[in-house]
Each structure stands twice: as structure tokens, then as C-alpha cells.
Amino acid sequence: MTRWSHRHVLDLAAFSSHDYATVLELASRFHALPTAGARRLPALQGRLVTTLFFEPSTRTRSSFELAARRLSADVQSFSPASSALSKGESLLDTARTYVAMGSDVLVVRHSCAGVPAALARDLDQAGERVAVLNAGDGLHSHPSQALLDLFTLARHFAPEAPSPEALRGRRIVIVGDVLHSRVARSNLWALSACGAEVVLCGPATLLPQSFADFVAAPPPGQEHDPIAQRGSVRLERRLEDALPGADAVMTLRLQKERMRQHLITSLESYHRSYGLNHQRLELCGKPVPVLHPGPVNRGVELSGPLLDDSSCSLVEEQVRNGIPVRMALLYLLNG
């Protein structure tokens, strides 16, 4: 029997080693299912999954909706532009409207950190049985993305048995706009929980020194760290110092929409210092995989030829792996 104690999935800081192992194990099972022919499992038949995206999304929303359909759930999507939000309805009342229609899971994305958690708290207090799944909130957290990154890396290192153990002692370099990245924050919790050695790389404007202590203590409101001993986190300013010895490189999008001031001089100069291409990748000393959560600024974070080279780019693999990982999360929350 799967042991699962979370009513909602809001932040990976609360995940135990057992939680990571459970998600990866279930995702592996869903990943192994045939993708042609009859590919629906009856697990969530009669359940309703609602995606509430207050921020744009290409991958995450479609991936959650596909995952829900593959488990035979009904799916309903909310679009802020055409909703009664523009008539002044509050966020909580909007959510309760979908709960009144029978929603079992709300998949929520919002540009403000803390919105999914606040909704979950208010719905709990109102006695509603609905589960809230955070699909990205401001700069704070993006649990399903970090879990699919973890699954992708675990499958790369241990294709036969992808588990959190496959990450132990691996050096994972995360390069780019860490400051504005909820993906990087969630990956810091996930990778350190699995015993990986994380190297963060970027200029001081996009990677403040304080990130060295990011996983040193649980976030406010969480009393203890469920992980007894986390892997290490270190910072490097130059890619040339970060790459030697890396086992994988995760690149991050420059989040121009979240930058309130000029934090880089130009995209060209960023690419010169932090952009990854085949030649730079050789600094790792061996062939290593490259990841990016997407959307990619082609020629900025990654050169076009590297992005398109499936012998080292796992970017499309990440997109594919998002579906079984989100199936696992929806399945667990509907337990």
C-alpha cells in the first residue's frame, strides 16, 4: 500500500525521502504504460480536476490536463480573462464555485507567491474536501516541475530503476536566473533531499549569495526538515568554474517579465558568459545531459544546435516525463 500523507501539494520543502520515492515509483509505472491504443486508466473515473491558471502556461497546464484525462478524470479549465474575476469576484469565491461543481482537485498557478497555499488553507477552514496542487506561484515554488526534473535525471542515471538514490553524490549545475526561478527553488529542495551536490551558477544580480543557505533551514511556518541530511549547495560566478566535474546541467530561462530593473547588460553578453553550447559543455569533462524547464530563449540560455541535439538535450524528454509525474501526483491526491 502506498503511504501518502499530503492533502495538498504546495511546496517540496515538506517532502520526505519516502514521498520522493513514491512519486518516482508511480511515475515509472505510468511511464511504462503503452502510449498508443487504449491508454486510459480508470483510476480517477468520476473525479473532477480543475486547472485554475491566473498566469500564462504552455506546458504545465496541458500536461496536467492530459495527465488527468489519462486517468479518466473529467477536466475543467478556468481562464481569468473570460471569468467573473473581471466582475470583482474574489479568488476564494472563484475557487469555491468550482468546488461547488464537484471539483476534487484544483491545480493552481498564480503570479503571487503563496496563493495556492492561502486557497488551500481557506478551503480547509471552510470544510471543503478539495486538494490543491501548486502549478507555480510567483518566485516561490513549482513542485511538479522539480519532480519531473528529478524523474528525468533519475531515469538518465538509472534507466532500469529510477529512484531518488540515483541522484546521491551527483553534481548538478543549475545555471542562470536563479533569483526569479521557482523551478530552481523547488529543485534545490528536491535535489538536496536526494543527496545531490548542487552547484548554482550566475551573476550576483541573478544569484544572490543568500542562496548558499537556501535549504539550511525549513521555510517559515514549517517546524522541521523531513530530510535528516541534505546534499550540499555551493555558488559559482563563472561557468568555467562551475562545469568541471558536473554530472548534469540545468539551465533556467531569463525571466524578463519578473525583472523590475536591468539585471543584465544585454542578452548577447549574458549568452557570452552563461549561455551553454556544445563547446562549453565539454568543460564538464565527459558527456552530460542538459535540461531546461522551458520556454527556452533559443540562443540565450542554450544555443540552438545544443537545444536540438537529442544526444545531450533532455528538454523534450522533460516535457514527455511531465505527464506520468503529474499522473502520479493526481493519483496520490485522490488516494
Candidate residues 114, 218, 245, 294; the one interacting with ligand NCD per rule CB under 6 A: 294
Task: Identify which of residues 96 and 253 has a Cβ nearer to ligand NCD in the complex.
Answer: 253
Task: Identify which of residues 3 and 260 has a Cβ nearer to ligand NCD in the complex.
Answer: 260
Task: Identify which of residues 77 and 255 has a Cβ nearer to ligand NCD in the complex.
Answer: 255
Shortest Å, Cβ 31 to ligand NCD: 18
Question: β-strand 197-201 against 48-53: which pairing, if any?
Answer: unpaired
Shortest Å, Cβ 254 to ligand NCD: 8
How big is the site for ligand NCD, counted in residues (CB under 6 A)? 11
Distance CA 292, CA 109 (A): 19
Amino acid at 250: M
CB 68 within 8 A of CB 44: yes
Regarding 258 and contact with ligand NCD (CB under 6 A), the answer is no
Amino acid at 192: S
Regarding 142 and contact with ligand NCD (CB under 6 A), the answer is yes
Task: Identify which of residues 48 and 249 has a Cβ nearer to ligand NCD in the complex.
Answer: 249
Candidate residues 188, 293, 326, 329; the one interacting with ligand NCD per rule CB under 6 A: 293
Shortest Å, Cβ 185 to ligand NCD: 10
Shortest Å, Cβ 252 to ligand NCD: 7
Regarding 145 and contact with ligand NCD (CB under 6 A), the answer is yes
Shortest Å, Cβ 151 to ligand NCD: 14
Shortest Å, Cβ 293 to ligand NCD: 4
Shortest Å, Cβ 297 to ligand NCD: 9
Regarding 183 and contact with ligand NCD (CB under 6 A), the answer is yes
Task: Identify which of residues 183 and 206 has a Cβ nearer to ligand NCD in the complex.
Answer: 183
Regarding 61 and contact with ligand NCD (CB under 6 A), the answer is no
Query: Dihedrals φ, ψ of 143, to 5°?
Result: -55, -45
Instruction: State the residues that interact with ligand NCD by CB under 6 A.
Output: 59-60, 136, 142, 145, 182-183, 253, 255, 293-294
